[in-house]
A and B are shown apart, each in its own frame.
Chain A
Amino acid sequence: MIPQVMHPMFAKPVHDEAARQGFVNDFRVHLASQIFPGNIQGYFKRVLPAFVKENKREPKDRHEVRRVMTKDPYYQLWSAMQRSSQEMIWDSVIDSVERQLPDLIAKAAALKGKGSLTIDPKLEIPRYNTAADIHLQPGAYHGEAGQNDLSAGAIYDRGTFIYSMGALGEHNDGLGRILHGFFRKQWPDRKIERVLDMGCTIGGSVSYWSQKEPNVEFHAVDLGAACLRYGHARAKAVGANVHFSQQNAEKTNFPDASFDLVTSHILLHETSRPAIHNIMKECHRLLKPGGLMLHLDLPQAAGQSPLEGFLWEWEVYNNNEHFYGQLRELDVAEVCAKAGFDKATFKIHQVSSTWDDGQTPYSDENFTFPVYTAEK
C-alpha cells in the first residue's frame, strides 16, 4: 500500500496491525484489479446469453441485470470476498485505535492550534444515520464509546484510506483537493470570507481548504461528536484553522446570509430524500446574496448501461449506502429549485479526479465526480 502520512493524531499501528492493514489494502487492490473484471467477462459470456435465450431480448435495466447476476456463482464469490474485505478494514483499524485510545484523547487535549470545537450532546441523530452503520464502520460515524471519545474519527481516518486503497492521497484529503482545485479553476478571482463545509466527518477536506485559503474563516458541521473531536485535533496537527460544531446540516444555528460559500464532500448520498431537500433549503438560507454552493458526490445513473448501473450499486445493497441508490436517479436541479435557487444558476459539472499537479490517484484516469453548483 502507498504510505499514509502519519500526522501527530494518527493511531499508529504496531507491527502485526500494520501487516494486517497492509494485507487488507492489497487484497482490495487484488479484488478490484484481478477478480472484479471477471464479473464483466462472465456477464457477456454466460449471464447475458442465458438471459437472451430465455427472454429473446437483452435486460432493459439494472434491476433485470440484478435478478440474474446475483445468481451467478462468480459474482457470488467476488461479492462474498468484497464484503469480507470491507469488514476486515474496520477490524484491522479498530485494533490500533482501541489499544491507544486513552493516549489519543490525551494527545488531542494537549495539542495547541487554531480553530474551535463546539459539541452539542443533545443533538438528535437522524434515522438515516442510525438505521445502519454506513460503510459498515462498527459504531457508525456518530458513535461514542465514552467521555471525549474520538475513536470514530481515528478509525475513519485510517479506514477510509484503506477503503479507497490510497486513492485520496498520502494525506487522505483528496476530495478537498479535487473540489478546491475545481473551485479555483472555475472561479479564480472569487472573493470568499466565510465558508461552511457540511458533513465534514474528520474535516480532511475542509482542513485542506483552510491550508490553501489561510485568510478565510472556515466552519464545518457534522452529526458525529467523536469525528469532530478527532477532526479538530487533526486540523490543529496539520496547521489548519477550522471552527467545528456538532450540528445537523438540515438545520444549523448560523444566522441567515452567513456564508459566501457552502461546500460538501460526498455528504449528499449519506442522507435521505427529505434530508436533501432540507439541506438545500438550509444552503439557500445560509448563503449571502450572490453566494455559491458546491456539492461533490458520487456518479448518477444517467448514461450508465444496465450492467454498469448494477455494478455501481453494489455498495447500496452490500455496504450500507442506502440513499445512494435514490440519489443516483434524483433530479438535483429540481431539489435546488424547490429550495429557492434560480434554476439558471444550477449546473452539474463532471470534475476530474485529478488534483494539484495532475496527480491521478484513481486507477481510472477518466473517472469523474459530479459537482452540483448553484448561486443565490
Chain B
Amino acid sequence: MSEPQIKLPRQSKGKRPYFFDDPAIDQMMTFLVELTAEVSVVYDRLDTVERLLETKGTISRADIEAYRPSDAIESERVARRDGYLKRVFRMHPPQATYGKGGTTAKPAPAKKKRRRRRRQRSAASG
C-alpha cells in the first residue's frame, strides 16, 4: 500500500493507566488482543475468498477488496466471531480467592498414592 499523503497522529495525549503491578503484563495484553484481531481479519479474508470461489472459477485481489458481505453473511461472521471470542478469551470461573503464583491444587493424600504404587509394583513383579 502506498504511503498516505497526510499522516495522522496515532498516539493519544494523556497518561496511560497501567492495571497490573508489572506494566509488561499490560503490554502483553495489548499484544494478545491485537494478535486476536489480526487472526480475525485473516479469517474474514479467507471467508471472502471461499465465498468468491464458490461463484467464480478464478478471483483477483481486486475482487477481494471489492467484496462487501451482505447483511446475512455479516450476521454469519458476527456469530462466528462470537464463538471465536468465547474460545480465545475463555475466563476461568469466578474464584473466592486467587492462589499466589506457584500454588497448585491440593495433592491427593499421600497414603493412597503409596498404596497405588505398591500395587503397581506387585502387578509388575507378578
Contacts and interface: CB of A to CB of B under 8 A. Distances in A.
Interface residues of B, number: 48
Interface in B80-124: 81-82, 85-86, 89, 91, 94-98
B54 to A, nearest CB: 17
Interface residues of A, number: 61
B97 A133 contact: no
B37 A88 contact: yes
Contacts of A84: 29-30, 33-34
Interface string B2-31: 001111111111111101100001100110
A80 interface: yes
Contacts of B91: 34-35, 38, 74, 77
A126 interface: no
A26 B81 contact: yes
A357 B89 CA distance: 37
Interface string A78-89: 011101110110
Contacts of B45: 15-16, 19
Given A30-B86, A81-B33, A22 B8 contact: no
Contact of B29 (A46, A74, A81): A81
B5 A101 contact: yes
A91 to B, nearest CB: 7
Nearest to B63: A15
Interface string A1-30: 101000000000011100110111011001
Residue of A83, A151, A320 with highest tally of chain B CB at under 10 A? A83
Given A30-B86, A80-B20, A80-B26, A94 B10 contact: yes
Contacts of B97: 46
A136 interface: yes
A46 B17 CA distance: 24
B94 A74 contact: yes
A145 B8 contact: yes
Interface string B22-64: 0001100110011011001100110010000000000000001
A26 B74 CA distance: 12
B6 A146 contact: yes
A88 B4 contact: no
Residue of B14, B36, B74 with highest tally of chain A CB at under 10 A? B14
B26 A30 contact: no
A46 B96 CA distance: 5
Nearest to A31: B89
B94 A145 contact: no
B99 to A, nearest CB: 11
Nearest to B33: A84
B77 to A, nearest CB: 7
Interface string A155-191: 1000000000000000000000000000000000000
Contacts of A74: 91, 94
18 contacts: A20-B37, A38-B91, A42-B94, A46-B95, A46-B96, A76-B19, A76-B20, A80-B19, A80-B30, A84-B34, A87-B12, A91-B10, A94-B10, A98-B7, A101-B4, A101-B5, A151-B6, A155-B8
Interface pairs A-B: 6 shortest CB-CB: A132-B14, A19-B44, A133-B12, A80-B29, A136-B12, A139-B9
